[in-house]
Amino acid sequence: MLFKWRAQKRRNEAIVDALYAAVTDWARQPKLYEDGGVPDTVMGRFEALAIAMYLFLRRCRDDARLAPLAQDVVDRFVTDMDHSLREIGIGYQAVPKRMRKLAGQFYERVSAYDAAMEAGEGARTALGDALAGRALGDDTPENVRLRLAGDMLAEAERLSSVPSDHILSGRLKEDVAR
């Protein structure tokens, strides 16, 4: 019985790791930094990862079967942020305070991006506006904001076509013709 439990736990960890790796791969795309206007800084990378996590959570939120898995991926994200803060030299006692601040920023972004994504035909413009002052600077040109908003909408559309069973098995891509 114990061996079955351990094997299942390792399988679940592998699925969460695979999903988190797919999310971080999207956040590490050079085009987000070169063409999308996200600054290539520690906070810029946090912003890109926050966008990728938001898109993943948006995909998972309407399927009750995905809720526990989505929570596990969020937990993995939080653990990764904690480790990253420690690696860049944030003091041991300051990490919890910084984590609370990052969590607040993340959920504020989720709220802003969600409202923009629900804007119907004006979603791209609303999302571009929501990105200003968050992932992008307030002075970022509109065409750059709209480019990143378009990338986000395209990724949200792509994720919506990924079957839930694929996500449950740790895949964020559709099957390719074999």
Nearest to 79 by CA among 20, 32, 135: 20
Q: What is the DSSP string of 42-97?
A: HHHHHHHHHHHHHHHHHHHTT-GGGHHHHHHHHHHHHHHHHHHHHHTT--TTTHHH
- How confident is the model at residue 178, as a pLDDT? 33
- How confident is the model at residue 177, as a pLDDT? 41
Q: What is the DSSP string of 87-124?
A: HTT--TTTHHHHHHHHHHHHHHHHHHHHHHHTSGGGHH
- How confident is the model at residue 176, as a pLDDT? 44
Q: What number of other Cβ atoms are within 10 A of residue 106's Cβ?
A: 20
Distance CA 148, CA 67 (A): 27
Distance CA 138, CA 132 (A): 5
Nearest to 102 by CA among 46, 31, 151, 155: 46
- How confident is the model at residue 11, as a pLDDT? 61
**Low-confidence residues of the chain, pLDDT below 70?**
1-11, 174-178
- How confident is the model at residue 62, as a pLDDT? 87
- How confident is the model at residue 3, as a pLDDT? 53
pTM of the model: 0.88
SS3 33: helix
Residue with tokens 């937990």: 75
User: Do residues 162 and 59 touch, judged by C-beta distance below 8 A?
Assistant: yes
Name the DSSP letter for residue 162.
Answer: S
SS3 125: helix
- How confident is the model at residue 175, as a pLDDT? 55
